[in-house]
Amino acid sequence: MNPTLYSVVLVTSLVNLGNCWADGFIGDSRVRFEARNFYYNADFREGSGVSKREEWAQGLLMNVESGFTPGTVGFGLDVLAFAGFQLDSSPDRSGSGLLPRRASGEAAGEYTKAGGRLKFKVSNTIVRYGMSLPKVPVLQYNNSRLLPQTFQGWQVSSTELNRLNLNFAQFDQAITPDSTNLQDISLAVNNGRYPATGIGDHFRYGGGNYTFNSRWLGSYYYGELSDVYRQQFLGLTYSRRSGSGSVLTDLRAFASGDVGDAKAGKVDNRAYAGVLSYTFDSGHSLMVTYQLIKGGTGFPYINNPYLPNYVQYHDFGSAGERSWQLRYGYDFAPQGLPGLTFFTAYIKGDGLKAAAGDREWERDVELAYAFHAGLKGLSVRWRNATYRSEVARDIDENRLIVSYTFTSF
């Protein structure tokens, strides 16, 4: 081949290859950045121990997701990076979950954590390995503080079959919201429900969702924390337009038991819940839920339970507990104020199997505004919770969150 012609062909091939990469790996990439300013105040109304937790911190969160390289097997790379900075704290009121806490009680002045995630795609199946933010009924990452909880391990998602979305994963370690260290995954010990010995070598889950039609969606998942507990979930949702609004019905059922060495002791739990909500076109919304906890022990979970009565402060998942929730919300968009929303909820539980008593309740209020013009991406949210219980410490809690979010998609 003529050297000049060969050079032209080579350069053209490299340009075409670069364009393919740009269209896939780079061109399909997405970037999400959030600056999150978080003030937390918890006032314990009675009982022994610390009387108040109060801290203020600034967080920076970045999530970069690449596209996939061209070819039968496409490769990609995701990067997650987080940083937190103390604005106000002291040893007598630290421990809010916003900042790491030293043995002396002092909160860290700053902390960072970051990780990558390799991924490859074949047809409609994607395999990922690295730092992840899982969100399925048997394992939900916690994002209720300054920085999110992350998990380290494998994930597989597939939509090869029409209407069926499958998900499988194994995570070996996790980083809590107020830490920088990878730790073994452990069972939550809310109100002493389970001992702190419930630590497993890994957490596995598998399951998926099937869309029957535009109104019906069914779900099944199995999760297991090795040598601690296993859990099955079955869910069914129904949604449709009705009258001058939309109706949603959400049914959930869990069955949990101990497994292997049972490091947290006996686990014997069944949880059932139903949600019925109606959203009016005028901006009003109403929701009522009922949640029932059966068996000899409370509801087991890692950090963020998929229970409808898990609200701002409490989960209402103690052994024998029956709880209901009534919630009212309003979206001010029909009044010419898009972005301004409000809701209030009241949750009451009774029947707890506890010597100190069998009743508790929580009242939540949230007012939020997301700017639409000029300051698009900026939002302000105030959340208030009042919790009273015969079996745990009473608390009044306030959270003020100012957030600016930029996305490239």
Phi-psi region of 186 (alpha: psi -120 to 50; beta: other; left: phi over 0): beta
Q: Consecutive sets of 10 residues in the chain, 409 residues long: mean pLDDT of each?
A: 43 43 76 97 83 96 94 93 97 95 93 96 97 97 96 98 97 96 93 89 98 97 98 98 96 98 96 98 98 96 96 96 98 95 98 89 98 90 97 95 91
Q: And the tokens for 37?
A: 């300013």
pLDDT at 23: 65
pLDDT at 192: 82
**Nearest-10 Cα torsion for 314, 318, 320, 321:** 0
The DSSP H or E segment spanning 14 is helix 3-21
**Nearest-10 Cα torsion for 290, 393, 103, 182:** -10
Answering whether pTM is above 0.85, one says: yes
Query: What SS3 state is found at 156?
Result: strand
Give the torsion sign (CA, 387, 290, 319, 192). negative
Contacts of 58 (CB under 8 A, 6+ apart): 35, 36, 37, 38, 84, 85, 87
Give the whole-angstrom CA distance, residue 131 versus residue 137: 19
Give the whole-angstrom CA distance, residue 168 versus residue 153: 11
Give the whole-angstrom CA distance, residue 409 versus residue 406: 9
Measured between alpha carbons, how far apart are the two ends of the chain, in Å? 45
pLDDT at 19: 53
Q: How far is CA 211 from CA 164, 219, 237, in A?
A: 7, 9, 10
Give the torsion sign (CA, 120, 124, 128, 133). positive
Give the torsion sign (CA, 128, 131, 136, 139). positive
pLDDT at 14: 33
pLDDT at 331: 98
pLDDT at 50: 84
- Using alpha carbons, select from 173, 100, 149, 195 the residue that is nearest to residue 303: 149
Give the whole-angstrom CA distance, residue 56 versus residue 78: 30
pLDDT at 121: 96
pLDDT at 271: 98
Q: Domains along the chain? A: 3-407 (2.40.160.10)
